[in-house]
Chain A
């Protein structure tokens, strides 16, 4: 009997494309989760944290050590990974945040680059990559598989997608209905006025640093399982795709950031089976970000040109 759903997309059969869609959505979930964390932090503090990936990678390495060299239960190791992200982010924000508070966004971002380089150096010193063995941090959920539309999907991949969605919903509600969330939005709109109105700036910033750090730790926990490797440099620079997602959201909209993250993950993965463009798929996040920014800014350009005329 002929399979009526057999068709090809630009020369690649649909049956061959489906696994890449699943992989792309799973990666997209991680990028969306990280992107939302980046946007929340940026809006509350004005800091674009490029150390996101390094913090997540460091947390993952600590979890690896706990799983493989102690008798602690795995769930504790995973918790440490997530909390590590929150604590390191918070510590950086509390120590260096005030010093950079009145500097422009580029200087603030460069400060976090310093943190990323320090963490990379520490990881290279204490857990050098290469040599005779590889490190893994497989999650127990990867042993559970489902077959959806004749494609194998692991529970980890499902969690990655669902977690990003749940976090985006939760953060959206949090920002709207809680006092702390309202204070964060106030800071994002006008920091000086918020301070004068009595918003506890340092406390609100601390919450933003810690909360975004938790997202960073969660991403650091899931990514090694998705890429089947705990290579800290690969993990650190993979999260650059999250920056693209945040840019697509214009560092403002959580939902556009979420959709941007999913689109980035999908684009990178779905390009894999196309031999002619596969080598360029690592550029996909930034091409998407540029296209999105141009498209989303088009009304502003038209308005400016009309005003000029």
Chain B
């Protein structure tokens, strides 16, 4: 397994990361009835990102095959056909790509006429109206996208509304999506850490404040964020599942915990209870 920097004590990401976002999508696909699972991620992260959903599939007794994908994709149709041939009608195809790559596979699926023959899973990056406006209505009702954050919608709550205001004022050309939510949360929690410091603000005092973060509530996350003095951090381990409908992104199912088949998730749940990190 690749050693990822965000599996070390110094990193506490606000998102789930590709591995766990794929876990959420795989769980949803299996629950929806997928009897086989084909997974594709960029080859640079495939061993890490696809290992999680592979564990979920194996725990459910479902055949799984990983398709590491070299970027840029030059023949999405061929790879998609291979994935479809493995998954079969009614099987699950899980794609883990950003919005500059995922569309190639989705377009290929439309061209090959297999959109409604399989169950489509995805990690978070395609959960936005930029994508839904392109691929709705063809993909309406056929997607199980694991969304690490709340729906990108200013009406969700005060943090979402503020994020839209900030984007509108300082980055009007940037489309609202998960990466914007990530950046907003990073800024929010960094400010909260700074504001909690009593006395001089130094590297030492700031680091201590960050480690001390816990029970940080926001409408953008399912559960409160935390850092804590842990060997690694997976504070965002509960996601929602979304789909496309009428060119919008709609919630399929609410906050759902990742299954603890991954040892890191199981350990994280133990720490959360032991140290009361997110309101538990």
Which A residues fall within an 8 A CB radius of B? 16, 19-20, 23, 27, 129-134, 136, 138, 142, 145, 152, 154, 226-229, 231, 233-234, 238, 268-269, 272-273
**Of B108, B113, B130, B179, which is within 8 A of A228 by CB?**
B108
How many angstroms from the CA of A234 to the CA of B100 in the assembled complex? 13
Cross-chain contact B82 with A138 (CB below 8 angstroms): no
Contacts of A234 in B (CB 8 A): 72-74
In chain A, what residue has the closest Cβ to B79? A272
**Of A132, A154, A272, A273, which is within 8 A of B99 by CB?**
A132
How many angstroms from the CA of A97 to the CA of B122 in the assembled complex? 51
Contacts of B130 in A (CB 8 A): 132-133
In chain A, what residue has the closest Cβ to B113? A152
- Residues of chain B at interface, number, CB under 8 A: 29
- Quick check: is B77 within 8 A (CB to CB) of the other chain? yes
**Of B72, B85, B100, which is within 8 A of A273 by CB?**
B85
Contacts of A132 in B (CB 8 A): 98-100, 130, 174-175, 177, 179
Q: Report the minimum CB–CB distance from B43 to chain A (whole Å).
A: 10
- Quick check: is B76 within 8 A (CB to CB) of the other chain? yes
Cross-chain contact B74 with A238 (CB below 8 angstroms): yes
Contacts of B73 in A (CB 8 A): 227, 229, 231, 234
Cross-chain contact B85 with A16 (CB below 8 angstroms): yes
- Quick check: is B246 within 8 A (CB to CB) of the other chain? no
Given contacts A20-B78, A132-B130, A272-B75, contact A229 B104 (CB under 8 A): yes
Cross-chain contact B78 with A272 (CB below 8 angstroms): yes
How many angstroms from the CA of A191 to the CA of B85 in the assembled complex? 55
Most interface-central of A136, A142, A229 (chain B CB within 10 A): A229
In chain A, what residue has the closest Cβ to B112? A152
Contacts of B75 in A (CB 8 A): 23, 27, 227, 268-269, 272
- Quick check: is B111 within 8 A (CB to CB) of the other chain? yes
Q: Is the interface of B mostly helix, strand, loop or mixed?
A: helix
- Per-residue A-contact encoding for B65-97, CB less than 8 Å = 1, 0 else: 000000011111111011001000000000000
Q: Report the minimum CB–CB distance from A22 to chain B (whole Å).
A: 10
Q: Report the minimum CB–CB distance from A156 to chain B (whole Å).
A: 9
Given contacts A145-B113, A231-B72, A234-B74, contact A136 B107 (CB under 8 A): yes
How many angstroms from the CA of A152 to the CA of B98 in the assembled complex? 28
- Per-residue A-contact encoding for B100-131, CB less than 8 Å = 1, 0 else: 11111101100111000000000000000010
Given contacts A132-B99, A272-B75, contact A228 B111 (CB under 8 A): yes
**Of A23, A133, A154, A268, which is within 8 A of B100 by CB?**
A133
Given contacts A134-B101, A136-B103, A228-B77, contact A233 B177 (CB under 8 A): no
Contacts of A23 in B (CB 8 A): 75, 77-78, 81
What are 17 sample pairs from A and B whose C-beta atoms fall under 8 A apart?
Answer: A20-B81, A132-B99, A132-B100, A132-B175, A132-B179, A134-B102, A136-B103, A142-B111, A227-B73, A227-B74, A231-B73, A233-B72, A238-B74, A269-B75, A269-B78, A273-B82, A273-B85
Contacts of A133 in B (CB 8 A): 99-100, 130, 175
Which B residues fall within an 8 A CB radius of A? 72-79, 81-82, 85, 98-105, 107-108, 111-113, 130, 174-175, 177, 179
Q: Report the minimum CB–CB distance from A66 to chain B (whole Å).
A: 19
Cross-chain contact A228 with B107 (CB below 8 angstroms): yes
How many angstroms from the CA of A289 to the CA of B108 in the assembled complex? 29
Cross-chain contact A134 with B100 (CB below 8 angstroms): yes
Cross-chain contact B100 with A130 (CB below 8 angstroms): yes
Contacts of B105 in A (CB 8 A): 228
Contacts of B98 in A (CB 8 A): 130, 132
How many angstroms from the CA of A8 to the CA of B166 in the assembled complex? 59
How many angstroms from the CA of A89 to the CA of B111 in the assembled complex? 32
Contacts of A231 in B (CB 8 A): 72-73
Q: Report the minimum CB–CB distance from A135 to chain B (whole Å).
A: 9
Given contacts A132-B174, A138-B107, contact A229 B76 (CB under 8 A): yes
Cross-chain contact B78 with A229 (CB below 8 angstroms): no
List of 10 A-B pairs having minimum Cβ-Cβ separation, nearest first: A228-B107, A134-B103, A229-B104, A272-B78, A234-B72, A228-B104, A134-B100, A228-B108, A231-B72, A234-B74
Contacts of B103 in A (CB 8 A): 134, 136, 228-229
Contacts of A20 in B (CB 8 A): 78, 81
Contacts of B177 in A (CB 8 A): 132
Contacts of B111 in A (CB 8 A): 142, 154, 228
In chain B, what residue has the closest Cβ to A268? B75
Q: Report the minimum CB–CB distance from A105 to chain B (whole Å).
A: 28
Contacts of A226 in B (CB 8 A): 77
Known: A130-B98, A154-B111, A229-B76. 4 other contacts (CB 8 A): A152-B112, A226-B77, A227-B75, A228-B108
Contacts of A134 in B (CB 8 A): 99-104
